[in-house]
Structure 1
Amino acid sequence: MTKTTDTGTDEARIYLLAAHPHWRESRVNRRLLEAAREIDGVDVNDLYGSYPDYVIDAELERDRLARADLLVMLHPIQWYSMPPLQKLWLDDVLRYGWAYGKGGTALRGKDLWLAATTGGPAESYHPQNYNRYFFDAFLPPYEQTATLCGMRFLPPLILHGARGASAAEVNAHVDVFAQRLASYPAWPELSDLGDCPACEVPAQDRPVDVQNGEVA
């Protein structure tokens, strides 16, 4: 059985970005990362292992992403968002004219799946609790990123309360994650998802210096 590695393979249909600043402290994401490395067709990239200096090879990343049908973002939720290196990856890789905007069709028709963990339990994401919002309130940046690039945003897989989850709960979550990766794209709910709405960016909203990758 041929496994994929963190250097990528031509056969990979899934590109998994794993972002965790402190893998040694991870109870769940590290297990998910290990499970992904055992599944055929998954190109796994540990971002903090690949880019400890935060200098991202954007061209290499675009090549790996272009080969895949599914982009998986695997990380803990930190301050209601993603780890900083994951955000930098989005900034550097999803270039205007490639991922979105005029001529930016490289990702159109692909899928984006978020697999994330939270430290707080599910009940903490409630208007009457300390996180003040239902967890879905923190998903629009992910969903709109996918939509702007012409990708479908798949129903995310979230494990709340990862710090206090029992071993049985963690094991069950890892099993679901691995099963989903191994069975993609044969997920029954995908047939119920509509087409991704078009998000055309007017040329006047992107000055020439920004289009060329310079700071406006």
Structure 2
Amino acid sequence: MSKVLIQFAHPSHSKSNVQKTLEKYARKVKGVTFNDLYEHYPDLFIDVKREQQLLAKHDIVIFQHPFYWYSSPPILKQWQDLVLEYNWAYGPKGHALKGKKIFNAVSCGGGRDAYTSDGYNRFPVGQYLLPFNQTAYLCRMEYLPPFVVHETYTIEDYVLKAFGEQYAELLEALVNDRIDPAELAGVEYLNELFPH
């Protein structure tokens, strides 16, 4: 079994039906730790040792956040700058995260078709997440495709519920080591492994 750490970042969490729903379903899964960064660090003064200890105790890390300006809320950048220290997370002696898995779970206002070469946003979600992918590579981690919820402004309750259930299925599969790496070949979103 694997231990999953969700590094959650949303500066106005109470206003987000999508993120509240994903949180509700995530918290039901045994083996998942939900770490709300804005709740713990409202002043952005991150406890580096606490965060490094959390990372050390978990096998899989998920950055769960809204897709803000094609990236993440600022606390995740602050977290990376402070927590992923040279010779701890990367560098010649930085092996603390080696072999762990990591990916993003994001919510986007635009539809999936908006994130194509012909779409409004011009590039797929995965291309906007390349800095996270490269960070994982530098830290000797395995970067997985993202879990994505699109059309957050117009999503209907029954669709949102289905995404919550899908997210819980994904988390349970990760905890129980039920995802074969071969299944990830050609997968753009982890959602595709759990169709609804």
- Confirm or deny a common fold (TM above 0.5): yes
Q: Residues of 2 paired with 1:72 and 1:134: CA distance?
A: 19
> 2:30 aligned with 1:40, yes or no?
yes
Q: CA RMSD in A?
A: 1.8
Question: Which residue of the other structure, out of 155, 172, 176, is the alignment partner of 2:162?
Answer: 172
Q: TM-score, normalised by structure 1?
A: 0.80
**CA offset at residue 182 of structure 1?**
1.6
**Change in 2 beyond 3 A, CA 1:189/1:169:** farther
In structure 2, relative to structure 1, the CA distance for the partners of 1:163 and 1:126 (3 Å cut) is same
Matched, 1:159 2:149: yes
Within a 5 Å distance, the mapping from 1:63-82 to structure 2 comes to 63-82=53-72
**CA separation in 1, counterparts of 2:58 and 2:171?**
13
On the 8 A contact 1:14/1:69 being kept in 2, the answer is: yes
Give unmatched runs, 5+ long, in structure 2: 186-196
**SS of residue matched to 1:43:** strand
Task: Tell me by how many angstroms 1:107 deviates.
Answer: 0.3
Q: CA deviation at 1:135?
A: 2.4
* CA shift in 2, pair 1:12/1:152, >3 Å: closer
- Alignment TM-score, normalising by the size of structure 2: 0.87
Given that 2:126 and 2:146 are in contact with CA atoms closer than 8 Å, whether structure 1 keeps it comes out as no
Structure having greater relative contact order (Cα 8 Å, sep ≥ 6): 2
Q: Which residue of 1 aligns with 2:190?
A: none
Structure 1: state its 5+ residue gaps.
1-10, 195-216
Q: In the alignment, which residue of structure 2 is the partner of 1:125? A: 115
- The alpha carbon displacement at 1:192 in A equals 5.3
Q: Secondary structure at the match of 2:87?
A: coil
Could you tell me whether the CA contact under 8 Å between 2:3 and 2:57 is conserved in 1? yes
Question: What are the residue-to-residue correspondences of 1:76-91 with 2, within 5 Å?
Answer: 76-91=66-81
The alignment-based identity, stated in percent, is 37
Q: Equivalent of 1:99, from 46, 66, 89?
A: 89
The letter of the residue matching 1:153 is Y
Range 20-29 or range 31-40, more displaced = 31-40
